[in-house]
Amino acid sequence: MRWVIHGEEEAWSSPWLSVRRLDVEQPDGDRVDYHAVRLSDVAAAVVTDASAWPTYRG
């Protein structure tokens, strides 16, 4: 069971990320719009009161 991508277009972009709109067919046969955020090569951290969880995407 796989998702099938029928089309993709850029909805918004900046030098650091882009938002893509995909026309996909789900494994159950439903065809829907799916939105994806694509990051450039960045490093990010989520900081709370007590700690930080570094996240890296290379």
Q: What pLDDT is stored for residue 12 in this prediction? A: 94
- The CA distance from 24 to 4, in Å, is 6
On whether the pTM is more than 0.85, the answer is no
The neighbouring-strand residues paired with 36 are 20
Place of tokens 């989520």: 46
7-44 tens-digit pLDDT: 999 999 998 889 999 999 999 999 999 999 888 887 76
